Amino acid sequence: MSFSNLVGQDKLRLILARLLNDNRLSHAVLLTGPAGCGKKSWGEALACSLLCSEPVQGEACGYCLSCRQFAGGNHPEYYVMEPDKQRIKIEQVRVMRSGFHLLGGRKVCLIKQAESMTAEASSSLLKVLEDPPVGLYFILLAEQPQQLFETILSRCQRYNLQPLSRVEMKALLADKKGLRGDKASMLARLSRGIPGYAFELAEDQEFDRRREEAENLALSLLAGEDSAYHLLDQAASMAEREDLLSFLDLLCYSFRDGLIMKLCRNEQLLIDPARPSLGEGTATVKELEEIIYLISQTIYELTATNVNRRLLLEKTLILAQRGLIQCRK
Ligand SMILES: [Zn+2]
């Protein structure tokens, strides 16, 4: 399990390989980034490389006994700590500490969701980080690093994982999910560079149906023929959707494709050419821009505030349709 097998993060790959090769890697490394961005894969590849007995330019060879034990999930010098009922507790840190009897060689502890450590667990870990035994390495993974003790942060070499480019994401989807063509392009765009989210969408059996529903709603809003009563009814049923955010994402992307089609005709589009297209309708660039902003704002309010979903969706649908009609007058 080496970095070379992982897609994207070219800068991080170079930095880590160089530090490993020069034996300059800190005894504590913190990998940060949103859920699904690949922290675990990179943390494991780093651990495997640290433990490998015959690394190739810093990276795990993949063939030595250590690498085979690591791949088999039974490496004796590798310890994983993760939340037990949402928190990492002091007992877990104690068990981890007592498990490392350093008799030469390297040992690695991977800490998932490090920010979930209780204050006691953090203090206990800090004691080890302040006076690290030679050969013991910690790899901390965190979505919210600001929740970690400042004293822990200051002792870590910190790297933030970057979103994958569309090209990288398409390569990953082809490799891991066998997806190519339009579907891969669409998921690469919708996933915003987060591999975990792209995989989730790829495995979602309802995705195609949801996509069609979002397109239909976009077309009906543009047509502007729905009565206010119908829009309120639609908002009420949307508010009940468990997949509301994903649905709004697709709605937003449907309009975005219409916009792209108006602005440039050679980009690969989300919308099937055989279907009625938003880009060929009467909506102007300005109208499409405004509606994309409106939906993005709705997604933001749904995720960042405690807003009443139904009222917010009523406002969004009515404003969307009314805005489009008024612009046309
Ligand atoms: Zn090896």
Q: Express each pLDDT in 197-249 by its tens digit.
A: 999 999 999 999 999 999 999 988 988 888 889 999 999 999 999 999 999 99
CA of 4 to the centre of ligand 1 (A): 13
- pLDDT of 78 reads 94
- pLDDT of 323 reads 74
Predicted confidence (pLDDT) per residue in 69-89, tens digit: 999 999 999 999 999 989 999
- pLDDT of 101 reads 63
- pLDDT of 286 reads 86
CA of 116 to the centre of ligand 1 (A): 31
Residues sharing a CB contact under 8 Å with residue 166, sequence separation 6 or more, in sequence order: 185, 188, 189, 193
What pTM does this model have? Answer: 0.82
Return the bridge partners of 105, or none. none
CA of 131 to the centre of ligand 1 (A): 28
The two structure tokens encoding residue 247: 């649905």
CA of 1 to the centre of ligand 1 (A): 9
H helices within 278-308, ranges in order? 285-304
CA of 258 to the centre of ligand 1 (A): 50
Long-range contacts of 297-306 (CB under 8 A, 24+ apart): 298/248, 299/245, 299/248, 299/249, 299/252, 302/244, 302/245, 302/248, 303/245
Q: Worst-scoring range by mean pLDDT, 130-144, 248-262, 308-322?
A: 248-262
CA of 68 to the centre of ligand 1 (A): 7
- pLDDT of 271 reads 46
Average pLDDT over the chain reads 89
Q: pLDDT-based confidence at 257, cuts 50/70/90?
A: confident
Contact 93, 63 (CB under 8 A): no
- Taking residues 159-165, what's their average pLDDT? 95
The answer on pLDDT for 28 being more than 80 is yes
Q: How many angstroms separate the CA atoms of 289 and 259, rounded?
A: 7
The answer on pLDDT for 265 being more than 70 is no
The answer on pLDDT for 282 being more than 80 is no
The answer on pLDDT for 169 being more than 50 is yes
CA of 70 to the centre of ligand 1 (A): 9
The answer on pLDDT for 32 being more than 80 is yes
